[in-house]
Amino acid sequence: MNHSDDLRHISDCPSCRQRFTENVLPFDAVRRREGAREFLAAAALLERERDGAGDIVERHLRDTPMDEWPRLAESQPLRNNAALEWMSEEVRKRLERNPVEALAIANLAASIAESLLAGTYPAVVLGQIRSTALRDRANALRYLGRLDEAYDSIATAEARLDAFPGAALDRAVVWLVKAMILGQMDLFDDAEAMITAASGIFAEVNDSPRFLQAGLVRGNLLVRQKRYEDAQQVFRDLLSVAISGRDVETQARLQNNLGHCATCLEDYGSASIHFSQAIARFTDLGFTGEVARTERGAGVVLIGKGQIGLGMARLREARQTFAALHMPEEAGLCALRLIEAMVEHGQTDEARALAASVVDEFTAAALDARAIEAVVRLRASLDADGATAEAVRTAHALVQSLTIDQAAAS
C-alpha cells in the first residue's frame, strides 16, 4: 500500500491517521477538556431523551384529535429532540399516504423546535433540530403542491444552519429538498445547482444512499425537461454505484427509470429489458406497489410495440393492484394510459366510462385539485367527442408531474 496524506487514504488507514495527526498542534488543554465535556454532556442528554420517546409521541398523536394537535406544542414531554425525531419519522411515513396529516405533524414539530430555548442543546444541535423540523414542513407542503410556502420553509431551514459550518450532512439534505421544490417550480437550473452541491457533500461523507437519491432526483429533473438521453446517462452512471453498493432497491428503481427513458425515446426493445430487470428486483424485495408501477411501464411498451391487447391487459392488472393497495393516483395514471389506447383505437365509450371512474376515485381520495380538474376536463372533451390521444397525454403528464419526485429526503 502506498501511504500518503491523501484524505481518502487517511480515512481508511489508521497508521496514516496517526502520523498525520502527530506534531500538529499544541492544544489548549483546558479548552479541549471543556469541549470534550460539552460533547459528552450533549451525548448523554440526547441518548437519555431517546429512551422511550416513540411511545410518548405515538400516544399523544393517537389520543388527540388532529385539529387539536397545535396545542400539543405546549406539552412538555414533546418538547425535546427525541420526540421531534419521532415526529420527523411520523411525517416521513405519512407523506405518501396522507400528506395533510404529515403537514399537521410537521407544523407541530416546527412550532416546538422554533420555540425551544437557547441553551437547551448546544447551538449547532439546536440549529439541526430546527432545520430538520422546517425541512419536514417544506417537504409536506411540497407534497401538497403549496410550493411558495414550501420554498419559504426550506429557505428558513437553510438559514437555521447558516452559522454552523460543521452541519454538513444536514445542509446537504436541506439542499436536496430545496432542489426538489425548485424542480417542481420549473426552476431547473437552480435545482440542478442545489443537487450538485448536495451530491458533492454526500459523496464526500461517503453517504451512498443519499448520493443515489440525489442522482435519482437529478435524473427525474432531466426527464421533466424531456432530456431523456441525458437522464439515461445519469441513471446508467448511478446503476454502477448501486450495483457496487449492492443496493438492490435502487437498482430496481434505476432499471424502471431507464425503462421509462427508453420508452420516451421509442427504444421499446431496451425498455422491455429494463422493465423486466426492475420487476424481477422489486418482486424479490416484495415491493408490490413498485412491481405494479413497473408493470404499467411494460404495458405502455407493449402498446408502443403494437401489441395492444397484451399491453392493455398489463395496464388493467397494474391498475387493479394499485387500487387494492389504496393508491388512487397511480391507479389513475394506469387508467389514463388505457384511455389513451382506447381513444387511439376508437373505443370512445369505454374511454368515457373509465374517465368517469377516475374522476370519482380522485375525488373520493381528495387528491390534488389540479389532478381532478385535468381529468374532469378530459371527460368533458370525451363527452363532446373532441378528445384526442394528445389531450389524454396532456392530462396524464399533468397528473404525473404532481406525483414526480415524491421521494422524501430525511
Partner 1 sequence: MNALTVERTDPRPADLAPMATRREADDLDFGRLYEDNFSLLVAIAVRKFQVPDVDAEALAHEVFLSYLKRKNDIRDLHPWLIGAICHACRYFWRQNGRRTEQLDQELALLRPDPASAGIVDLLPAQLAVREVLEALPPRYQEILRLRYYEGYSIREIADYLGVTAKYTQKLVARCLRRAEQTLNPSPKRKKP
Residues that bind partner 1 (CB under 8 A): 4-7, 10-12, 17, 20-21, 24-25, 27-28, 31-33, 35-48, 51, 81, 122, 124-125, 128-129, 164-171, 201, 204-207
CB contact at 8 A, 238 and 230: no
Nearer to partner 1 (CB atom), residue 76 or residue 206? 206
Nearer to partner 1 (CB atom), residue 39 or residue 229? 39
Q: What's the closest the beta carbon of residue 170 comes to partner 1, in angstroms?
A: 7
The Cα–Cα gap between 372 and 395 comes to 10
The Cα–Cα gap between 61 and 291 comes to 33
Read out DSSP for 280-319?
Answer: HHHHHHT-HHHHHHHHHHHHHHHHHTT-HHHHHHHHHHHH
Q: What's the closest the beta carbon of residue 4 comes to partner 1, in angstroms?
A: 8
- Residues near 266 by beta carbon (within 8 Å), at least 6 away in sequence: 304
User: Could you give the angle at the alpha carbon of 112 between the alpha carbons of 108 and 118, nearest 5°?
Assistant: 165
Nearer to partner 1 (CB atom), residue 21 or residue 240? 21
Q: What's the closest the beta carbon of residue 187 comes to partner 1, in angstroms?
A: 23
Q: At what angle do helices 81-95 and 123-143 cross, to 10 degrees?
A: 20
- Residues near 221 by beta carbon (within 8 Å), at least 6 away in sequence: 179, 183, 188, 191, 192, 195, 405
46: buried, middle or exposed (CB in 10 Å: 19+, 13-18, 0-12)? middle
Q: What's the closest the beta carbon of residue 206 comes to partner 1, in angstroms?
A: 4
Nearer to partner 1 (CB atom), residue 14 or residue 65? 14
CB contact at 8 A, 42 and 122: yes
Q: What's the closest the beta carbon of residue 156 comes to partner 1, in angstroms?
A: 18
Q: What's the closest the beta carbon of residue 157 comes to partner 1, in angstroms?
A: 14
CB contact at 8 A, 361 and 330: no
Nearer to partner 1 (CB atom), residue 128 or residue 184? 128
Nearer to partner 1 (CB atom), residue 250 or residue 321? 250
